[in-house]
Chain A
Amino acid sequence: MRATQRLVLRAFDWTLLGSTVFLLIIGLFALYSASRTSGGEASYHIRQLGWVAIGIVLLAAGFLLAHRSLDALDFLAIPAYVLSLAMLVLLLLRPGTGVESWLSIGPIRFQPSELAKVALVLIMARVLSNRPPEKLGMRHFLVPALVAGAPFILVLRQPDLGTALVFGAILVPMLFWAGLPERALLFLLSPAVGILASSHLPAWILFLFILLAILLLMRASLVFAGATLGFNMLVGLAGPLLWNSLKDYQKDRILTFLDPSHDPLGAGYQIIQSEVAIGSGGLAGKGFLEGTQKGLSFLPEQHTDFIFSVVGEEFGFLGCVILVVLYAVVLGRILLAASRTRDRFASLLVIGFFGYLSFQVVVNVGMTLGLVPVTGLPLPLLSYGGSSMTTTLFAIGVVLGVGLRRRR
């Protein structure tokens, strides 16, 4: 008995847990600082502490479920998925609210899209683990694509393109992990690139030629090459039609998404302020609570989406490197857990969480640095917000649990 316990203790991924806790602590300090600069009225760090507490309970739950009864997680997949879809539909049906992505039940307010991310990981793992990799044909990937498509469309209608893309970031690595042939990946991903090019005819034609060249290099069959090109043509033609059917303000939103300077007083301004804050932090930063950048206090989202700017200004390049390395460790350990486990369902589950968390980290940090459009995606473990905090910690709990299973 004692021996197994010691074994478990040794097998437990202390590195992952330690890095997570370290990130949580940095986040609370950054929030404290952000609360100070925005006028003292807010005490985000106190409330965030509450969310962390709830999150740790969920982390334990995820750990126990993954460790002791994967079947329960498997069983939970469908109800969680249906529930999250229902709530997303409810959000759209609710009249008279603009871009609110929140749903309240009594005093609790949360974002159904966060639940939908976890639910999608669960159900995709369930669907994809149904048959062994060598028996997977291309047609077996149609169902997963449809399963991921539903929440994608619903969140897109909110409209929240950033969150919708997270579903893509969950879907694609999971399909790849499950053994989707490269050509299928090409079939699915090329239209996504194509639709971006479709607004500009010469660019789109160039895109089609590049696609043709890739198909030739792959020595694709005539049927597959025809299907891929045809699918791309269809999407490319539908793009402008779809665009023209949008209302002006909807077009504005998408343009602002692709190019923040389109809304110079809103998102574009945030980017400038964020860049100034981070850049002025220099090598060592201005020191904790010493963020003097007055402009920073102009950032309404500095405690949520732009929390990284606070770290960048006060802890400088060295602080940022530490932060980025911590994320690299967390994500690396998650990837390791996925490749070590022998249970296909568990492995897919962990890869789904890997895609979800990696995408949000890269996109959020990229956004504060002006590399990526403003999307409204939170920085996992750092940004203020209960929905993101609890789902992230639950996911890490599941990873920790799966990590122990390989020895059993």
Chain B
Amino acid sequence: MTERADPKIPFRAGVLGALLLLAFIVLLGRLFQMQVLVSGKYRAHAEENRIRPERVTALRGRIIGRDGMLYADNRPSFSVAVVPFEIRRNLAVVDHLADLIGADRDQLRERAAKGYARPHEPRAIVPDVDLTVVSIVEEHALDLPGVLILTEPVRVYPGGPAAAHVLGYVGEISDREVDETKGGALRPGARVGRAGLESAYDERLRGRDGFRYVQEDAHGRRLGTLREEEPIPGEDLVITLDWGLQERAESLLAGHEAGTIVALDPEDGEVLLLACSPSFDPNLFSVAVPAAAWDSLSGHPLHPLLNRSIQSAFPPGSVYKPITAIEGIEQRVVGPETVLLPCFGAWQYGRRAFRCWKPEGHGALSMRGAIEQSCDVYFYQVGARLDLDRFAAAARVFGLGARTGIDLPGEKAGLIPDTRYMNERYGKSGWGGGALLNHSIGQGEILTTPLQIARLYAALATGRIVEPHLLHHAAGAEGKEPRRAVSASRPVPLPEEILRPVREGLIRVVEGERGTGRAARVQGVPSAGKTGTAQNPHGEDHAWFVAWAPANRPRIVLAVIIENAGHGGAVAAPLAGDLLRYYFEREKT
């Protein structure tokens, strides 16, 4: 430390002092202007009027089918709201309100006390009231300071439970989410997408709220609007669902306890239908959910909120056999024409007999025949000669074991086991070649979602792997935007010589004399498909059927799974046939 004075210090002190003085002069000048020159203007504001900010909720975008079906819309609704800041001082007002409209005092108090994050923003405490309540509150306005009626749009789903799992629902935002979106984008009590498309495209559907400063006199009479910003409504979304197919699939599923059907356009991945059973009514969530309704939904043993096409992973069973066949040919374990040892209803591997689904056996088969009749013994013999990791890689080529990337939240990836997985789960010596036999018929550890399976069959049909999606295009306020670019698809990195025989086998499943999927036949439209009967440790087998049609120039691929229902050929294939018949017959007219 030096004790010598720096000669430049007085100069620097002068600079800093001058800067500070300048700042203070600016402040005093502004004070003089506000408090002396134009004080009257402010005084008028302060004494006669008060200014209340008011939010103008933006209209949520609609969801419309490409065929014009209106899936999600808005309706006006009144709710009783309080301004937290004014209520905080005077909770007796809330009691008075409760008595007037016949609500529970404690419940209202609790809702009124919820969160003061934005104390001046009215918060709805009794949502969606009828006009009687509105008139009661308006009549007693003078006894109810801080209470007001809000007019807000409420989400409505005209189809009720129709396509509920695709649409999702909206729910009240939490106070924490409000804080995380500062800048006033969201207000307490606002509703945001909670599942399905409502959640995936929430920001585009939501739009941007407007606001205005309302000037009121001491009696709460509105004098005028100071500043105003119009709300920007959310975008209307046009989705790829085919309402005819969707409706028919839902009525078909209604006959079954649990199951799902999903259909894609195999060329570009547009989702034509996605139906689940059991379903729910998303309108329930639009206003505050009644506790009893919520309990019965969330506590239901069959989980009605679950989108079974993307959020449930099932063992694929025999619908997995094309993967086994492809890998067998690629590894030169079998050729398309190879006839393996005949099936007598079971195959001995080590000390264990692996059974075929048909106890009396299929006899000797070539690969096409084995696919047609879904002979397990044939595929055991292929699987026994495969390498687990290469087998897993072959499945991943078709996108199994990974999310498809569909524009819906909460998609499951499924599971394609490899050596590392098996070692981690069972230990290095805890599993053997028998696991591969199980995998070769789609059992064991393998898990797939119905959407993944639908995409797999689209790829088998066309040789290209598509990205499934629901958004057709967004119709903004300024008119139609260009149609969403045809979604990315990538070619299956396999030669036609490998895909063709498998495809031929799949056509025989529906069209062949001994095909297991004959129940899905459509007059005049040759189709391809595959049955599956997935063993389920928790109960009856799951019935699978996957199909595409027409066989040569595929226009639709669909996957059906009916849970705990038995054989795919008997239970699921007729549903697929019904939908395909509907689809192609409608075209004729």
Interfacial residues, chain A to chain B (CB-CB below 8 A):
39, 41, 98-99, 129, 132-133, 173, 176-177, 179, 248-249, 252-253, 255-256, 262-266, 269, 272-273, 275-283, 292-295, 297-298, 300, 312, 316-317, 320-321, 324, 327-328, 331-332, 335-336, 338-339, 342-345, 347, 351, 354, 358, 362, 365-366, 369, 371
**Whole-angstrom distance from the CB of B377 to the nearest CB of chain A?**
56
Given pairs A252-B181, A253-B183, A269-B120, 13 additional interface contacts (CB within 8 A): A252-B183, A255-B183, A265-B55, A279-B45, A280-B45, A283-B39, A292-B46, A300-B119, A335-B13, A339-B10, A347-B9, A351-B16, A362-B20
* Cβ 8 A contact of A295, one of B10, B50, B182: B50
Tell me if A343 and B1 are in contact (CB < 8 A): yes
- Could you pull out 15 A-B pairs where Cβ atoms are within 8 angstroms? A98-B179, A179-B8, A249-B185, A252-B181, A264-B184, A275-B34, A279-B34, A279-B45, A280-B43, A280-B45, A292-B46, A294-B46, A298-B119, A339-B10, A369-B30
Tell me if A275 and B50 are in contact (CB < 8 A): no
Stretch at the interface among B21-29, B296-304, B383-391: B21-29
Across the interface, which residues of A come within 8 angstroms of B30, CB to CB?
Answer: 366, 369, 371
Tell me if B180 and A371 are in contact (CB < 8 A): no
Report B365-408 CB contacts with A as 1/0, cut-off 8 Å: 00000000000000000000000000000000000000000000
Tell me if A332 and B43 are in contact (CB < 8 A): no
Across the interface, which residues of A come within 8 angstroms of B291, CB to CB?
Answer: none
Tell me if A264 and B211 are in contact (CB < 8 A): yes
Q: From known contacts A324-B24, A343-B3, infer whether A281 and B39 are also in contact, taking CB-CB under 8 Å.
A: yes
Across the interface, which residues of B come within 8 angstroms of A252, CB to CB?
Answer: 181-183, 185
Asked if B109 is at the interface of the complex by the 8 Å CB criterion, the answer is no
Tell me if A39 and B16 are in contact (CB < 8 A): no
Pairs A-B, 5 closest by C-beta atoms: A279-B42, A252-B183, A280-B46, A317-B35, A339-B13
Q: How far is the CA of A282 from the CA of B211 in the complex (A)?
A: 30
**Whole-angstrom distance from the CB of B119 to the nearest CB of chain A?**
6
Across the interface, which residues of B come within 8 angstroms of A324, CB to CB?
Answer: 24, 27-28, 31
Closest to A282 in B: B39
Tell me if B16 and A335 are in contact (CB < 8 A): yes
Tell me if B28 and A371 are in contact (CB < 8 A): no
**Whole-angstrom distance from the CB of B19 to the nearest CB of chain A?**
8
Tell me if B36 and A283 are in contact (CB < 8 A): yes
Q: How far is the CA of A294 from the CA of B85 in the complex (A)?
A: 12
Tell me if A177 and B185 are in contact (CB < 8 A): no
* Cβ 8 A contact of A279, one of B5, B43, B88, B187: B43
Report which residue of B5, B10, B118 has the largest number of chain A beta carbons within 10 angstroms of its beta carbon: B5
Q: How far is the CA of A249 from the CA of B177 in the complex (A)?
A: 11
* Cβ 8 A contact of B180, one of A249, A255, A263, A272: A249
Binding site of A, secondary structure by majority: helix, strand, loop or mixed?
helix
Tell me if B51 and A272 are in contact (CB < 8 A): yes
Q: From known contacts A265-B55, A280-B45, A295-B46, infer whether A256 and B120 are also in contact, taking CB-CB under 8 Å.
A: no
Tell me if B6 and A369 are in contact (CB < 8 A): no
* Cβ 8 A contact of B2, one of A278, A331, A335, A344: A344
Asked if B583 is at the interface of the complex by the 8 Å CB criterion, the answer is no
Across the interface, which residues of A come within 8 angstroms of B41, CB to CB?
Answer: 279
Asked if B347 is at the interface of the complex by the 8 Å CB criterion, the answer is no
Q: How far is the CA of A173 from the CA of B85 in the complex (A)?
A: 42
Asked if B292 is at the interface of the complex by the 8 Å CB criterion, the answer is no
Q: How far is the CA of A273 from the CA of B88 in the complex (A)?
A: 20
Tell me if A369 and B13 are in contact (CB < 8 A): no
Tell me if B211 and A265 are in contact (CB < 8 A): yes
Q: How far is the CA of A354 from the CA of B15 in the complex (A)?
A: 13
Across the interface, which residues of A come within 8 angstroms of B3, CB to CB?
Answer: 342-344
Across the interface, which residues of B come within 8 angstroms of A331, CB to CB?
Answer: 20
Q: How far is the CA of A269 from the CA of B26 in the complex (A)?
A: 23
Report which residue of A265, A331, A358 has the largest number of chain B beta carbons within 10 angstroms of its beta carbon: A265
Across the interface, which residues of A come within 8 angstroms of B85, CB to CB?
Answer: 297-298, 300
Across the interface, which residues of B come within 8 angstroms of A277, CB to CB?
Answer: 46
Closest to A98 in B: B179
**Whole-angstrom distance from the CB of B432 to the nearest CB of chain A?**
45
**Whole-angstrom distance from the CB of A169 to the nearest CB of chain B?**
11
Closest to A99 in B: B179
Q: How far is the CA of A252 from the CA of B89 in the complex (A)?
A: 32
Q: From known contacts A283-B36, A339-B13, infer whether A312 and B46 are also in contact, taking CB-CB under 8 Å.
A: no
**Whole-angstrom distance from the CB of A368 to the nearest CB of chain B?**
10
Tell me if B179 and A344 are in contact (CB < 8 A): no
Q: How far is the CA of A343 from the CA of B88 in the complex (A)?
A: 55
Closest to A134 in B: B6
* Cβ 8 A contact of B38, one of A41, A262, A279: A279
* Cβ 8 A contact of A320, one of B9, B31, B184, B187: B31
Asked if B336 is at the interface of the complex by the 8 Å CB criterion, the answer is no
Tell me if A179 and B6 are in contact (CB < 8 A): yes
Asked if B420 is at the interface of the complex by the 8 Å CB criterion, the answer is no
Q: From known contacts A293-B46, A331-B20, infer whether A266 and B184 are also in contact, taking CB-CB under 8 Å.
A: yes
Asked if B227 is at the interface of the complex by the 8 Å CB criterion, the answer is yes
Tell me if A272 and B213 are in contact (CB < 8 A): yes
Closest to B23 in A: A362
**Whole-angstrom distance from the CB of A395 to the nearest CB of chain B?**
16
Q: How far is the CA of A351 from the CA of B55 in the complex (A)?
A: 47
Across the interface, which residues of A come within 8 angstroms of B47, CB to CB?
Answer: 280, 292
Across the interface, which residues of B come within 8 angstroms of A263, CB to CB?
Answer: 182-184
Asked if B17 is at the interface of the complex by the 8 Å CB criterion, the answer is yes
Q: How far is the CA of A62 from the CA of B17 in the complex (A)?
A: 24
Tell me if B121 and A176 are in contact (CB < 8 A): no
Tell me if A176 and B119 are in contact (CB < 8 A): no
Report which residue of B42, B89, B176 has the largest number of chain A beta carbons within 10 angstroms of its beta carbon: B42
Closest to B34 in A: A279
Q: From known contacts A328-B24, A358-B20, A362-B23, infer whether A249 and B181 are also in contact, taking CB-CB under 8 Å.
A: yes
Across the interface, which residues of A come within 8 angstroms of B53, CB to CB?
Answer: 264-265, 269
Q: How far is the CA of A177 from the CA of B53 in the complex (A)?
A: 47
Across the interface, which residues of B come within 8 angstroms of A269, CB to CB?
Answer: 53, 120, 213
Q: How far is the CA of A354 from the CA of B43 in the complex (A)?
A: 36
Across the interface, which residues of A come within 8 angstroms of B187, CB to CB?
Answer: 265
Across the interface, which residues of A come within 8 angstroms of B26, CB to CB?
Answer: 366, 371
Asked if B4 is at the interface of the complex by the 8 Å CB criterion, the answer is yes
Q: How far is the CA of A292 from the CA of B47 in the complex (A)?
A: 7
Across the interface, which residues of B come within 8 angstroms of A351, CB to CB?
Answer: 16
Tell me if B9 and A264 are in contact (CB < 8 A): no
Across the interface, which residues of B come within 8 angstroms of A344, CB to CB?
Answer: 1-3, 6
Across the interface, which residues of B come within 8 angstroms of A345, CB to CB?
Answer: 1
Tell me if A276 and B42 are in contact (CB < 8 A): yes
**Whole-angstrom distance from the CB of A15 to the nearest CB of chain B?**
16
Tell me if A264 and B46 are in contact (CB < 8 A): no
Asked if B294 is at the interface of the complex by the 8 Å CB criterion, the answer is no
Closest to A332 in B: B17
Residues 179 to 206 of chain B near chain A (Cβ within 8 Å): 179-185, 187
Tell me if A264 and B229 are in contact (CB < 8 A): yes
Report B65-99 CB contacts with A as 1/0, cut-off 8 Å: 00000000000000000000100110000000000
**Whole-angstrom distance from the CB of B123 to the nearest CB of chain A?**
13
Across the interface, which residues of B come within 8 angstroms of A279, CB to CB?
Answer: 34-35, 38-39, 41-43, 45-46
Q: How far is the CA of A248 from the CA of B28 in the complex (A)?
A: 38
Across the interface, which residues of A come within 8 angstroms of B27, CB to CB?
Answer: 324, 362, 365-366, 369, 371
**Whole-angstrom distance from the CB of B322 to the nearest CB of chain A?**
43
Tell me if B15 and A265 are in contact (CB < 8 A): no
Q: How far is the CA of A297 from the CA of B20 in the complex (A)?
A: 32
Q: How far is the CA of A207 from the CA of B184 in the complex (A)?
A: 33
**Whole-angstrom distance from the CB of A81 to the nearest CB of chain B?**
19
Across the interface, which residues of A come within 8 angstroms of B182, CB to CB?
Answer: 249, 252-253, 256, 263, 266
Q: How far is the CA of A279 from the CA of B32 in the complex (A)?
A: 9
Q: How far is the CA of A335 from the CA of B18 in the complex (A)?
A: 11
* Cβ 8 A contact of A312, one of B13, B35, B38, B179: B35
Across the interface, which residues of A come within 8 angstroms of B9, CB to CB?
Answer: 177, 339, 347
Q: How far is the CA of A294 from the CA of B120 in the complex (A)?
A: 13
Report which residue of A98, A273, A280, A327 has the largest number of chain B beta carbons within 10 angstroms of its beta carbon: A280
Across the interface, which residues of A come within 8 angstroms of B39, CB to CB?
Answer: 279-283
